[in-house]
Structures are given as C-alpha cells and as structure tokens.
Structure 1
Amino acid sequence: MAEPLIVLDPQAQKSLQAQIREKVIQGIISGSIPPGHKMPSSRRMAEQLGVARNTVVLAYQQLVDDGFLLTRERSGFYVNEAIQQQGLISHTGSVEATAGSDDDRDFWRSHCNAVSVSRRALQPRPANWLQYPFPFVSNEYDPRLYPGAEWRECTRDIYSAREVAQWAPLGANEDDRQLLEQICTRLLPRRGIYVEPGQILLTSGLQQACYLLGQLLLGEKRSLGMVLPACAETEEIFRRTGARIEALPQDGDGPLIGEELQNSDCWFLQPNAHNPTAVTTTLERRRALLRAAAVRGAVIIENDCEHEFCYHGSPLPPLKSMSGGRSVIYLYQFPKIIDPGMQLTFIVGPKPVIQRLRALRYTLRERMPPINQRLLAKFVASGHLDAATFRITQQLRERWVALGEALLYYLPKLKVRRASCGTACWLQLPEAVDADQLQQRAEQEGLLVETVQGSNTLRIGFSSIEAEKIEAGVRLLAQLINGEVSATEETLETATGRRLSADDLRAEFPGAVLLGTNTLGESYRIELMPDGTMLGYSRNDVDVDETDTGRWWLEGDLWVRQWRNWSYGRKASFYVVAEEHRIKWFNSAGKLIDTAILVHE
C-alpha cells in the first residue's frame, strides 16, 4: 500500500512527518485506503519509505489525535470508519447527468443575462509567467524580493490568544482599529496627509474601492473624466456604474485642462505615475487641476500608486495633501511586490463619504478578513514595511537604471516614457510594427511584455526580472522590433543629405556641440573637444543632471565614440550624414540609429 500511495520529496519545504500525514489523509478521503483498513506497523512503514521509525510514529499519533486513525490494543492502527461515512451522499438511482448537452446549454442561455466584458480585461498572463526567462511585467510579485520571513514572524504573533481575542470579535462591517491607526500615524503623514481613523475605509482591492466610489458618486446622469488608455479593469468597473467616460487628453506634464475636463462631474487621476502611460503630473499642473476642480465643483478620485518606489529625487506631493485638496478622495493600494496575497486598499475621504461607502460595502457582505487586517497592522507596526520598502526600492532602482540603459542602447530611435517611480515604462512602437503580433512572437521567445489597449505601444515592467537579465531581454525585443520595421525606412544608401568623409569629420566635429533628445525623453548635450575627449550632459524628467565623459576618434570614414559609463561603456562606430544643421548616425550595417543637431559655439 505504501509504495504507490506515499512518495516523499526530501527537497520539499514540508517535513517528512507532515508529508506522511497528508498522504495518508488523501488516501483515506479518496477511498484508496478503505475504512477499517489496518495500517502497516510503524517499523514496516519506516522501512518502506526510508525514514526514521520515530517519524512514522509521530505521524501516526497525530492522525489518531485528529480522528483519522484508531488504535486497537496489541493490534495496531486502523482507519476510522466514521471518517468516510460523515457527509457522504448516496447516488443510487440518480438521474444520469446531462451537463454539456445542447439542451442544457440552451436552458442556461435562456436564463442568463448577456455579459459584455472587454477582451483586454480578461486577457490573462500565462499561469507560469514567473518561470519565463524575461518576464517584463509590472507591479508583480518577485520571490527574490518578497519579505517572507517578516510575514511569518507577524503571523505567529497574531495567533497568540491575546491577539485572537482582539481581532476575532470584529463585527461584519468593522475595520481593524490597529491598522487604521498605523495608516493614520505611519503611512499617510509621509505623504503630507493627516486624517482620523473615521476618514478611512478598507477594501479588499482597488477594484472594490473603485466599484464603491462609482456606485456612490457616479451613475447614468454623471460623467467621469479619465486619461485613456487606462487600466482595463478600472475603466471596465467605472463603465458598469452607467457613467459616461470622458477621455481626458494629456501631455508630458499630465492631464490637460480643457473642455473634456470641464464637462466631467468627477475626475479619476493618477498624478504619481499614470497607468499605463507612465506620465508623472508636474507640481504646477497639479495646482492647476485643483484650481479647475474648485471652479467646476468636481470631485477628484486620486489613485496614488507606487509612490514608495522613487528612484531619484523626492516624490511629488499627492493632490490630497495640497491646498484645495478637500475635494479629493484618496486611494492607495499596498504594492503586490510586498503584499501579493492581500492587495488591501484604503480610501481616504470626508467622514460623510466614508460612512456612505461603509454602508455600501456592508450590502456586498465583502470586506478584508479581520485576520489579514491585523496581520498587516502588525507588519507595519513592527517596522517591517519600512525595511522591506527600502530594500526593495534599492533593487528596483538597479533594475530601473538597467532598463533605461538597455533601451537607450538597443532601441535608440523609439520613444520611451519612464517615470521616476513605479515599476514600468511606456514604449511607443513604429507604425510598421503591430503591438499584439509582437507580444505573441515575444512570448514564443520567452519574453513577456504587456500591450496597451487603444494604442500601438508596449508597457515594459521590471518588478519581476533580475537586473542581470534586462539587457538580454531588451536585446531580444529589439531584434523582434527591428525585424518588423518597414523596408522603406531611411538607410545609409537612401538617406537625404551629405555623407561626411573622414576629412569632413576632421573639419566639422572638433569643438562642435551635439544637441538632442534620447529615447527616454531626456535632453542631452555632447561637447566634442579638439583633443578627442567628450563631455556629456543629460537632464531627466525631474530636472536632475547626469554627466559622463568619453573619447571620440576616426577609423576611416567611421566616427567612433566610447563613453566611460553611458551605453555600457562600449565602443560604437557610425557613418554620419549631414542635412543642413541636422546630422544622422548610421551603424556599420547602414541602419539609422539616431539624429541630433550640430552647432558650433
């Protein structure tokens, strides 16, 4: 019996004793071990499984304590017959099942209302996405960064008798007081928000929070302004409230204050890092949005996502903390990279709003389980959240830098938007490349990227991929993209302008300045010194300067440059074509790499 039934895995995280117990229980429940069956002796079972006899004795004793086995004096261990009798239903004489027949499908089709859901909202990732070589997905769990030991410590603490007596009696619509206090005293003050526990409501996820707010604030006679494309799930939820969605235009500074904004009763904004376009709303645009909301009398729903992960500078203040923030309802969801199982979200608003939202939540009979609330409260109070956030931010910053360098090196012509926080960037594809087809081909090569509804773009995340793998993944993506670019693209042979020879380069480049914008949207300035050295300056999205030095020289008609740090510090050679004040760089294969403005000072 033991050989086919019980197979132990020495590499499993569970002990051998726990594995034996679970396998025996599975056999009893499934009927593989019949009621009243006499189990092998502990000595014989230990010999068959190759484990210590004491391991089997302890497993048997626990099965007896749990009621699965019975002991008979001087006879051994027997399966308890009452286990299989409990809860069994006899199917004698039952009608043959007809599930799957045409009549059955017609019956249920006639009784079900039509359901329309965006195909994108239902598009899942592969179940084993984490095992792909290059999982470029955003805001996802990474086992290398997950603070598992800290969560286990807090789990042990909350199961003490004293703790259980505190969280177990919570009513059906109550929130854990300790967690609310931690949010009020530890989390929100760092964002400049000071409220009381009565101004906070906990929900079981961002989707539930949006649903409750949509039910309370929107409806068929009201409109919601939001930047599109948006997160497919969020947009779908708001549409189901019956509200009219007004698509808000935006530029690199955030949502534009125009007619669409003024016509909306409520605005859904993500000023920190818009999902999916990675636009960070500037401080001045935030002030203008608050002034416009005051004039219009509009309510702002602010989703302040991923503000912890800031990679340079300091995060900008949320709208809720600024002057005029009284009309703002603030949403925050704990990042999945820290909290993959709970996905707890909290809403901050005036007490009358929170009271009504609490009543709506009660009608759904759905809230975050009290044990999870207390677990998160313990995690925050113990300082584990702060420590994990700091440690994870350091790792994500390394990946953020690596992704930026790889995109600059392998896809220098494409437009990339990369916020100074968050876990993804936005990549605009050439017109000749279809995003959906590219995603499918990339997945076949082991590379997972996310497409964006309504635009020919990719969202490239870095929360689940190691920094060391990013360059290889982006190189593979560049090969797929370049293989699809139209053959009509300008090449060295078809380029308009004057191809510069070695003599032309010696005459024009020493003392020249190159001005341009790289693929990350950063403006740069490169000074070419007569002695063959280079000085480079670039300015990123928060006006932080980055500098580097390098050298340049000629090899025949090729202009060669090598930076100390930029472009991985690798040597690169280019043919140069000049067209008035603009120059174009082509690689040795004749492919256009970049353009810049050439000036002399």
Structure 2
Amino acid sequence: MDFHVSLAGRGDLSARIYRQLHEAIIEGRLGPGERLPPTRELAASLSVSRNTVAVAYERLTAEGFLVGRVGAGTFVCANPPSHPPATDRPGGEIPVRPVWRALAADPSPARPVLFDFQVGVPDAHGFPMAAWRRLVARELRDVGVRASGYVDPAGHEGLRAAIARHIGLSRSVRAGADEVVVTHGAQQALDLAGRVLVEPGACVAVEEPGYPPVRELFTSLGAKVAGVPVDGEGLVVAAIPHAASLVYVTPSHQFPLGTAMSLDRRSALLSWAHERGAVVIEDDYDSEFRFSDRPLEPLHSLDRGRRVIYVGSFAKTMLPMLRLGFLVPPPSLRPAIRAAKRLSDRQGEVTTQGAMAAFLTEGLFARHVRRSTRRYAARHERITTILRRDFAHRLDIVPSTAGLHLAAYLREPADVGAIVRRAADAGVVVEDLRTYYGDGPGEPGLALGYGGIELDQIEPGLRRLAACWA
C-alpha cells in the first residue's frame, strides 16, 4: 500500500521515518499484519538512500513493531506493543456557537432490547425488500444515462411526479410535479424552510408537547422557539405568541399525543396565519396509517391564502435508512426553497429516488401501506386492550386512531423516570412523555410505539412494564 511520510521537521531522516511509522502503528492507521513498502521502494519515493529507510525498519523490528518474512517483505506485528495515546496539545480548541454546546450531547448508549416500544420505528421485517432490491438494481443498470452530470436539485423528475399524484389521491393535496421538492427526510425539509424563513431572533411557535428535533433545529438557526399548548382539538391557536412568524404543527396525528386537529381549529389557524402574514409548516409524517375515521383535509388543501408548507416523509412508511422526504412550498417560496436545496446538497441520491418513483407508480407502495396498516392496526388494538385491562388504575390513554405509537398520562403520582429506567434494565424500551416538553416539566406519562415490536411480544413486554411500578 502507499504510505505517506513527511520529511519535514528536525532530526535525522531515519528518525523522522521511524517516528511516523511508529505513530501510524500505535494509532491503528497501520493495522496488524499490514505489509509495508519495500525499503528500496519507499527510499525511491522519498528521494533518500535505501540505508536510511532500512535503519528505521530495523529499529521498529527490534522494538517488536515490525517483523520481516524472507521472500515476502516487512509486516506490522500481529500484536505490536501498546503505548498510551499522545495527549492533544493545549490551546487547540476551536470555539463554536453556544447553542451547539447544548445540542452536541451524545445520546445514551444503547442497551439490550427484548421488547421495543420505541416511538417512531417502523416494522423493518414487513418491508418488501425483494421488490425494492429489484427496483434499485434496475436503476443501477440504467445509471449510465444519468452519470455524466447533475440533476435538478429539487429531485428526480419521475419521483416528484409520483409524489404529486400520491398526495393528490391520498391526501387531496393539489400540487404538480414542479411544486414538489424531494429531500433527505422530513428533517431536511424543515431545515430548508428554516433557512429561507427564520431570521436570528425571530419567534417560531411549535407544539407543546412536540417533536424535539424541530425545536432544536429552529433554535440552532437562532430563533426564539415558543411552545404552544395542545388540547383535545389540537394546537391552541389563541395561545400562539403575537410575535410568531412561523408555526410548526402536526395536525393529522399530533406528535406525540396522537390527537387530530379539529376542523374549527384548522380554520382558526389558517385565519391567524393570513391575518398575521405568518407561515404554517404542516408535517404530515404518518397519516397513511389510519385504523378508523376518515382523515380531515390537510391544512394545505384548506389554505386559500397560500401560507402553508406541506411536509411529508417516507421514513415511517418505508425505512428511515432510505432518507426520503419532500415538501410542497407555496408559489412565493418555491424559488428560495429550490435555491436552498441546491446550496444544501446540490442533489439527492438519484438511484434511490428513481427506485422510489417506480415503487409508487407500480402500485407497490399502496400495497405495502395496506399490509402495514393491517399489522399496525392489530398491534394498536392489542396494546390498547392490555393497557385498559391491566393499567386502568395507572394510565389514561390519549385517544388515537392512527400512526405507530400512542401516549398515556399517569392517573396517580409516580416517578416516571424511575419506571422508564427500571423498564430499560428489564429489556423494555418505553419513553417518558415529559421528554417531549420544552418549556416546562410537562404532564407525566408514557409514549409507547408498536412499529418495532411483534404482535405476540406486546403482552409479555407490558407485563414486564407493569412490574416496574413496584
């Protein structure tokens, strides 16, 4: 392999070569068993004598870092001596904006999971992987046609057309292919909207409780994020701060409570946005999975003042790893959103987007959603039945007829954090509802997902959870 050695610095040439090879082995850049260049070859590349390189090799061999094999060459020893890593030089820290010191905390290390009630996780086992592989392979066979240049930053033309047709039929969202911008998931869609709309110090209203990454995203952009309470009809429009210029909502299936915004509340929100000249971001993140009741029309369909940005994602319906989402901005925002997308990543991953276009147009997506909805409906019914039977004196379930999770408030005082920790120790992952509040302690309760747990595992998992109240 080629190995870069710099001869800059003090000391004789052999010492410099020795030092850099020694550091490479200690730091793992040269791994056990790796073959080093022959002394003649390395000497020629460095324009030094062969003896200069040989002295460095001999010293490393004597110290147990290298081993020579007759007729084969020089290799790093299988078990080279270990040395403590060199400490960083003082004074090398680069300052970052204060907001990023708060946002850069590492997540807690993963624990073994036996019963996964994590929120927002779809059923990967139910994904039609064979069909998806076939479509991706087909796209890769045709990649030569597109490989010579960049494509539209707004995304694969066929996928934009397929998304426009899909949301037009399933959600009554009126949009043409040229109005859709394909993104790397809903989070990038929100980031693009924030880049275009949020000035430092601007007031952005979000649901309380709500989706934490949204609050963190707008905070990172310099916004003053205000939580607006949610009740049984959705966001309390009367509580939106007067200074708010942007409002983020999940009206079809409020995250994390699961309630749907009433028609009266939707009309009030749109009237408020029109009167204030504000913008509403409608995140329709999992409306495909409904088990009863017809969904109300999206805000985007009710909007006559063109104040709504409609955001969708395939993270819950497909797989999060595919990183596919989209947004439909109002006409006045379209040029800026497209420019922000171009500056953000120039273009998306075209092969995946092409496969997704075929997945939609060939009817595979609709079939997958129907099958998934039946599975999730059965899990939703099972978990709801058990909670009402075995946790009636402990939990009050928030009514929900869609999505991949449900929420429940505590009926009697208890240490929710301790319950969640004991459950984790027992191999049961549930989430503390208070983590979704940003401006206060929040209502004590639990959020339980059912996308990542099989039907027959729900009851034993909830039995373990019940024991964690002791």
- Aligned residue in 1 for 2:343: 363
Cα deviation for residue 224 of structure 1 reads: 1.1
- Aligned residue in 1 for 2:447: 459
Q: For the Cα contact (< 8 Å) 2:185–2:315, is it kept in 1?
A: no
| TM-superposition CA deviations, 1:234-253 (whole Å, max 9, x none) | 11001111111222122111
Please state which structure has a larger fraction of its residues in helix: 2
SS state at 2:209 partner: coil
Cα deviation for residue 195 of structure 1 reads: 1.4
- Aligned residue in 1 for 2:356: 376
Q: From 243, 246, 251, give the equivalent of 1:271.
A: 251
Q: For the Cα contact (< 8 Å) 1:218–1:241, is it kept in 2?
A: yes
Please state which structure has a larger fraction of its residues in strand: 1
Q: C-alpha distance in 1, partners of 2:115/2:287? A: 25
Q: From 115, 121, 137, give the equivalent of 1:140.
A: 121
Q: From 422, 430, 434, give the equivalent of 2:403.
A: 422
For the structure 1 residues 360 and 323, does the alpha-carbon distance in structure 2 shift closer, same or farther, using more than 3 Å as the test?
Answer: closer
Cα deviation for residue 152 of structure 1 reads: 1.1
Q: C-alpha distance in 2, partners of 1:125/1:466? A: 24
Cα deviation for residue 220 of structure 1 reads: 2.6
Cα deviation for residue 211 of structure 1 reads: 1.7
TM-score of the pair, normalised by structure 1: 0.60
For the structure 1 residues 179 and 214, does the alpha-carbon distance in structure 2 shift closer, same or farther, using more than 3 Å as the test?
Answer: same
Q: C-alpha distance in 2, partners of 1:158/1:127? A: 38
- Aligned residue in 1 for 2:15: none
Q: C-alpha distance in 1, partners of 2:241/2:382? A: 37
Q: For the Cα contact (< 8 Å) 1:134–1:447, is it kept in 2?
A: yes
Q: C-alpha distance in 2, partners of 1:463/1:196? A: 32
- Aligned residue in 1 for 2:101: 116
| TM-superposition CA deviations, 1:491-540 (whole Å, max 9, x none) | xxxxxxxxxxxxxxxxxxxxxxxxxxxxxxxxxxxxxxxxxxxxxxxxxx
Unaligned 5+ segments in structure 2 are 1-29, 38-70, 77-81
- Aligned residue in 2 for 1:236: 216
- Aligned residue in 2 for 1:342: 322
How many residues matched?
Answer: 394
Q: For the Cα contact (< 8 Å) 1:205–1:344, is it kept in 2?
A: yes
Q: C-alpha distance in 2, partners of 1:190/1:415? A: 32
Comparing both chains, which one has the higher relative contact order based on Cα–Cα distances under 8 Å and sequence gaps of 6 or more? 2
Q: For the Cα contact (< 8 Å) 1:336–1:343, is it kept in 2?
A: no
**RMSD across aligned positions (CA):** 3.1
- Aligned residue in 1 for 2:174: 194
TM-score of the pair, normalised by structure 2: 0.76
Query: Does 1:297 find its partner at 2:282?
Result: no
Q: From 73, 91, 102, give the equivalent of 1:107.
A: 91
Cα deviation for residue 221 of structure 1 reads: 4.3
Unaligned 5+ segments in structure 1 are 1-28, 37-80, 91-95, 484-601
For the structure 1 residues 167 and 286, does the alpha-carbon distance in structure 2 shift closer, same or farther, using more than 3 Å as the test?
Answer: farther
Q: C-alpha distance in 2, partners of 1:399/1:126? A: 24
Larger radius of gyration: 1
Query: Does 1:472 find its partner at 2:457?
Result: no
State the AA in 2 paired with 1:109. Answer: E
Q: C-alpha distance in 2, partners of 1:231/1:371? A: 30
- Aligned residue in 1 for 2:188: 208
- Aligned residue in 1 for 2:42: none
| TM-superposition CA deviations, 1:36-70 (whole Å, max 9, x none) | 9xxxxxxxxxxxxxxxxxxxxxxxxxxxxxxxxxx
State the AA in 2 paired with 1:377. Answer: A
Query: Does 1:260 find its partner at 2:240?
Result: yes
Q: C-alpha distance in 2, partners of 1:256/1:360? A: 31
For the structure 1 residues 425 and 439, does the alpha-carbon distance in structure 2 shift closer, same or farther, using more than 3 Å as the test?
Answer: same
SS state at 1:245 partner: strand
For the structure 1 residues 450 and 122, does the alpha-carbon distance in structure 2 shift closer, same or farther, using more than 3 Å as the test?
Answer: farther
Q: From 276, 287, 291, give the equivalent of 1:307.
A: 287
Q: C-alpha distance in 1, partners of 2:362/2:418? A: 47
Query: Does 1:326 find its partner at 2:306?
Result: yes
Q: For the Cα contact (< 8 Å) 1:170–1:176, is it kept in 2?
A: no
